[in-house]
């Protein structure tokens, strides 16, 4: 579902220097300029209004170029400002690319007529992923990576609570519950790490970058692998339960410190959304249509985690029935 739902139409703008002219190359995603040529309209958007751009040439089905020199590019010494580019065709509706047109000074568009665009339709109907610069198709990962990490933290928290319960109550079943919840949580953690790595490859350019959040996640996986190594090297069940519960408590606390506290410390920078001054997805990428799916997906992944945990728990109970 998250893979089949189309990305909404969008445009991607690149600046090309050509001789003395500056060209804007506009690539369309899920849109056809040639087909929609009759209805195609382009605007430059500044806070004052929308200014129609008429001087463009269509290069192909999904690309066109705009010559900036013909829209009165004045070379004043004022500081650089960026205008948004807004495009419309009948099939894709209104789409925009923020801060795409460089301009020096606002007077260069004064010659153009401001236009009221409220009569044009707002773009694709129905549920689609929002099209954002840089993120492009990778926004789908929101439904996997982020939600799986929510599920993982839930399961590890459950394991942590049951480890404490074991320490306080000496009930061996609680230790089994804690270890099974940690196993499922570790599985989710590894899957979350893999989906995050694929996302990082296409947005940051590498599967693994040195980043406090990533290192914390990698270490968390190591901690819980060590936890299972510890469990496997002790034969006496009560001894195993006691010692692994103690290790579980200390590793969970340090893990939470490491992925949630340390990246927020001053002077630690992170590329991860929501960290180090980067906006989290929720602030501008999560539109309301996505929210409708995102929150149930969090609950759904968490439930799937606990469902797997429940199956494992019952399997364990059946194996130990005698």
Partner 1 sequence: MTSSKISRYRVFLGNELRAELRHLQGLAAQTMFVVVASYLLYAGLALLGHADLSSQVLHVIFWLVMIFTIVNSTSSSFFRDASGRDLYYYSLLHPLVYFIGKLLSSLVTTLFHSLLLSLIFHQVFSYSHMLSFHWLAVMFCGVLGMTTLFTLISSMASKTSQSQILAVVLGFPLAIPLLLFILKNLSSIDLAYAQGFSLSSLSSLLIFDGLILGLSLLLFPYIWGD
258 near partner 1, rule: CB under 8 A: yes
Closest to partner 1 by CB, 51 vs 255, is 255
264 binds partner 1 (CB under 8 A): no
> Cα dihedral sign for 100, 102, 105, 106?
negative
The CA distance from 33 to 23, in Å, is 17
- Binding test (CB under 8 A) with partner 1, winner from 8, 9, 97, 251: 251
Q: Does 58 bind partner 1 (CB under 8 A)?
A: no
Q: Which of 112, 246, 286, 308 binds partner 1 (CB under 8 A)?
A: 246
Residue 250 within binding range of partner 1, rule CB under 8 A: yes
Query: Which residues on adjacent β-strands are paired with residue 95?
Result: 87
Site for partner 1 in 167-186 (CB under 8 A): 167
Q: Site for partner 1 (CB under 8 A): which residue of 208, 247, 281, 306?
A: 247
Token pair for 286? 């999560």
- Compute, in degrees rounded to 10, the torsion defined by CA atoms 25, 28, 31, 37: -10
Binding window for partner 1 (CB under 8 A); candidates: 47-55, 101-109, 236-244, 295-303 = 236-244
Q: Does residue 262 bind partner 1 (CB under 8 A)? A: yes
Q: Which range of residues in 93-101, 175-183, 184-192, 228-236 is near partner 1 by CB under 8 A?
A: 228-236
Q: How far is the CB of 102 from partner 1 (least distance, A)?
A: 38
CA gap 68, 70 in Å, rounded: 5
Closest contact distance (angstroms) between CB of 185 and partner 1 is 15
CA dihedral sign of residues 209, 210, 214, 215: positive
Contact status: 257 vs partner 1 (CB under 8 A): yes
Spatial distance between the Cα atoms of 67 and 59, rounded to a whole number of angstroms: 13
d(CA 10, CA 30): 7
254 vs 271 by CB, closer to partner 1: 254
Q: Which of 165, 142, 194 is nearest to 301 (CA)?
A: 142
Considering the rule CB under 8 A, would residue 128 count as an interface residue with partner 1?
no
Question: Which residue from 174, 148, 180, 147 is spatially nearest to 161, judged by alpha carbons?
Answer: 174
Q: Return the closest-CA partner of residue 160 out of 185, 194, 197.
A: 185
Residues of this chain that interact with partner 1 (CB under 8 A) are 167, 215, 219, 222-223, 226, 229-230, 233-236, 238-239, 242-243, 245-247, 249-251, 253-254, 257-258, 262, 265, 267-268
């Amino acid at each position: 579902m998250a893979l089949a739902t189309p990305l909404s139409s969008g445009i991607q703008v690149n600046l090309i220097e050509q001789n003395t002219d500056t060209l804007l190359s506009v690539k369309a995603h899920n849109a056809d300029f040639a087909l929609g040529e009759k209805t195609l309209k382009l605007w430059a958007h500044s806070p004052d209004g929308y200014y129609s751009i008429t001087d463009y040439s269509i290069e192909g089905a999904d690309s066109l170029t705009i010559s900036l020199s013909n829209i009165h590019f004045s070379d004043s010494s004022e500081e650089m400002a960026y205008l948004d580019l807004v495009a419309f065709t009948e099939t894709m509706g209104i789409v925009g690319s923020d801060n795409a047109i460089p301009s020096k000074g606002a007077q260069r568009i004064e010659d153009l007529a401001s236009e009221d665009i409220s009569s044009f339709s707002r773009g694709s109907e129905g549920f689609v992923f929002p099209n954002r610069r840089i993120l492009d198709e990778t926004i789908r990962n929101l439904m996997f990576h982020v939600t799986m990490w929510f599920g993982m933290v839930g399961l590890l928290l459950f394991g942590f609570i049951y480890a404490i319960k074991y320490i306080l109550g000496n009930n061996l079943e609680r230790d089994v519950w804690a270890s099974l919840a940690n196993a499922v949580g570790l599985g989710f953690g590894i899957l979350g790490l893999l989906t995050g790595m694929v996302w990082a490859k296409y947005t940051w350019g590498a599967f693994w970058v040195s980043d406090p959040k990533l290192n914390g996640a990698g270490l968390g996986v190591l901690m819980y692998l060590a936890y299972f190594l510890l469990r496997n090297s002790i034969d006496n069940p009560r001894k195993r339960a006691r010692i692994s519960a103690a290790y579980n408590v200390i590793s969970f606390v340090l893990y939470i410190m490491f992925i949630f506290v340390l990246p927020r410390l001053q002077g630690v920078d992170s590329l991860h959304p929501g960290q180090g001054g980067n906006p989290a997805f929720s602030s501008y990428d999560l539109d309301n249509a996505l929210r409708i799916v995102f929150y149930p997906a969090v609950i759904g992944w968490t439930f799937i985690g606990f469902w797997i945990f429940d199956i494992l728990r019952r399997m364990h109970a059946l194996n130990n029935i005698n």
